[in-house]
Amino acid sequence: MASHSRGIPPQEVDGTPDYCNESVFRRNTLPPRTYYIPKDASLSLNGQWDFHYASSPLAAPDPTAKNGQKSTDEHKTKDQWTTIQVPGHWQLQGHGIPHYTNVQYPIPVCPPFVPSENPTGTYRRSFFVPGSWGSTYQLRLRFDGVDSAYHIWVNGVLIGYAQGSRNSSEFDVTEYVDRAGPNELVVRVYQWSDGSYIEDQDQWWLSGIFRDVHLLYFPQSRIEDWFLRTDLDAEYKHGTLIAEIDIKTESHSELVVDVLNHNQDVVGTAEDSGVGSRKAMLNIPINDVYQWTAENPILYTVRIQLQVGDMIFTHLVEQKVGFRKVELKNGLICVNGQPIRFRGVNRHDHHPSFGRAVPLDFIRKDLLLMKTHNINALRCSHYPSHPKLLDLADELGLWVIDEADLECHGFYDAIARPLDIPEEVDYEERKKLTFAHAAKFTSDNPSWKAAYLDRMAQLIHRDKNHASVIIWSLGNEAFYGQNHRAMYELAKDIDPTRLVHYEGDPHAESADMYSYMYPSVERLISLAATEGVRSDGTFEKPIVLCEYAHAMGNGPGWLEDYEKAFRTYPRLQGGFIWEWANHGLWKEDPDGKSYYAYGGDFGDVPNDGTFVMDGLLYSTHKPTPGLLELQKVYQPVETQCVSYSGASGNCTLKITNLYDFVSLDHLTATWKLESFINATR
């Protein structure tokens, strides 16, 4: 039977709601770990839930009362409950409206406080623990994405609280669950929280449980977490798997780690034994290793097995890994010793009907479109994407900048508007007038440091085992302050094997590269020659464009000019087009009119109109002409006529391989010969 533990108090600080306290962002959550949902030890809680929508938390049902009703409020009847689909957003299922802003906040700026009119969705469902699950195993509830903050109750007991909309959270519910069932799970979700101030990304404001929910079970002796890093020798020929594995047990245990190639042959193995919980550190050499790149994404399988006592296997997990080494060499981003060029795009999670609750097959189609249009790099803007996206990026081959769920661009407007700074003023000048002041709200405010660090730690621990992720990013358009410096230090402490990006750091003090948005080609070339360049012409860090060639309207433009600059100046290592797809949401009006809506179409005020329609794909995720143009400019093979004889009609073609690693052996050339000799002018 379940324990009758009292759980946690309603608020961490008495008198202050958790969702209005920047120092409270997790209560009773488990430490972050690598993303892994065991197939035979998980129960999906996706599907239809009961749902109650209220104008504020005060009007929400009491989860401790029977059937979610406040026993003292007779007017709260069952008729106020309806059903909702999880994953999903409540604004796209008939409750409230979607709201689009680019920079400005849709609520008054007074961090960490949010309006008392704070729409609140209460989710409720029952579940049974499968009878095949061991009675002594640990039970966890896992939420992979809830916008914006939430408390959870199990059988009327308040278990925990979390925020960080695009980050995962797990709760140990072992002592609160009745294994004979049924069990009632209630999740109260707040549309606005102090976290909303640092989630001001250029997209729709949409609320609710929008990613997967699982009930998980783990043996008492288990593999708690693992970090599988790879290294290559000085000649980039032989590899080493560096396995750091957290073991949870009270007994003597044996750990076996095997590395299997694509034929499932064991090519390396190592063992560890000990008593009690520990961190096992193993190095496994792999000779003549096949290296992972975005052009040739060869993956190995790592099998981790824990044996306790006389049992064959107490716990077994598997992880795909790619052997590759990321480093700065001679001031350039190199993978496996070779400088690389980003031909990339920025991608938000978006579906025209489901918002950020994007089905996995839809994500796969996105990534396949990228590959077939010569795109080799992806920036997750501006938060961790669906966790399974990175499995696809590992498999298909994409360089990934994985970004923390952090942006507070709206503080710019909060500073600039009272100063009445004209928009015609040069942006660099406006930055000088406003950015330092805007940073004081959160980025350069020590009371927000822990929240910033949590978002960095959540990102890294969830995604640390993916070969495709070669760069961590500290967020986007959040100005620059002491909290970014702390994030950089944390990233390097957890994972020294990857580089760190942040465009808001203009002098790359807490970044391994200079990053810019939308410079002209002329300014970009000037930056390559001057920014961070020593008197002898050498430099320590490269330059990337995290955003360029805005794809709105008939954009993107000047693509070939940028590509020519990238080819001419090796320090310019490419960039990421803004952005992958339009964010239109399908809307059906009462008069029968149907269309893909943008800011203002839902009566959302204030809004930024059509600025959400600036992608290489239509809202249906079908290519625009802009993507076809980009495909041509990004093509990794260049053909030139280097000589032509008018008399003989002979032409000499020069074919140049623009790939960073592979040859052209996988391609077949076709040509068509046309003659205009008899044509008249």
φ, ψ of residue 524 to 5 degrees: the values are: -60, -45
Could you tell me which residues come within 8 angstroms of residue 179 by beta carbon, excluding any fewer than 6 positions away? 1, 2, 129, 133, 135
Could you tell me which residues come within 8 angstroms of residue 676 by beta carbon, excluding any fewer than 6 positions away? none
Could you tell me which residues come within 8 angstroms of residue 270 by beta carbon, excluding any fewer than 6 positions away? 243, 256, 257, 282, 283, 284
**How many whole angstroms separate alpha carbon 573 and alpha carbon 330?**
13
Neighbours of 413 (CB within 10 A): 19
- In the annotation, is 117 catalytic? no
Q: Determine the 3-state secondary structure of 401 from DSSP.
A: strand
Strands, E assignment, 336-376: 338-339, 342-347
Cβ contact 381:476 at 8 Å: yes
Q: Nearest 5 degrees, angle CA 211-CA 213-CA 219?
A: 135
**How many whole angstroms separate alpha carbon 15 and alpha carbon 280?**
44
Q: Which residues pair with 572 in a beta bridge?
A: 543
Residue among 525, 536, 522, 527 at smallest CA distance from 508: 527
Q: Which residue has the tokens 């249009």?
A: 373
Cβ contact 411:451 at 8 Å: no
- Collect contacts of 632-639 with beta carbons under 8 A, ≥24 apart: 633/559, 633/560, 633/563, 634/343, 634/373, 634/374, 634/375, 634/376, 634/563, 635/374, 636/374, 637/664, 637/667
Q: Which of 170, 407, 547, 579 is catalytic?
A: 547
Residue among 391, 392, 406 at smallest CA distance from 458: 406
Q: What is the dihedral of CA 262, 265, 270, 271, to 10 degrees?
A: 120
Neighbours of 625 (CB within 10 A): 9
φ, ψ of residue 543 to 5 degrees: the values are: -125, 135
Q: Determine the 3-state secondary structure of 136 from DSSP.
A: coil
Give the relative orientation of helices 559-568 and 521-530 as an angle to the nearest 10 degrees. 20
Helices and strands (H, E) in the chain, number of each type: 9, 37
Q: Which of 477, 503, 563, 579 is catalytic?
A: 477
First CA to last CA distance, the chain = 92
Strands, E assignment, 191-339: 203-205, 208-209, 213-218, 222-232, 239-248, 252-260, 266-275, 278-286, 300-308, 315-321, 326-329, 332-335, 338-339
Cβ contact 162:169 at 8 Å: yes
Distances in whole angstroms, Cα of residue 622 to Cα of each of 370, 598, 615: 12, 17, 10
- In the annotation, is 547 catalytic? yes
**How many whole angstroms separate alpha carbon 597 and alpha carbon 585?**
5
Distances in whole angstroms, Cα of residue 501 to Cα of each of 487, 498, 504, 543: 11, 10, 9, 11
Dihedral class, residue 47 (left if φ above 0, else alpha if ψ from -120 to 50, else beta): left
Report the catalytic residues: 477, 547
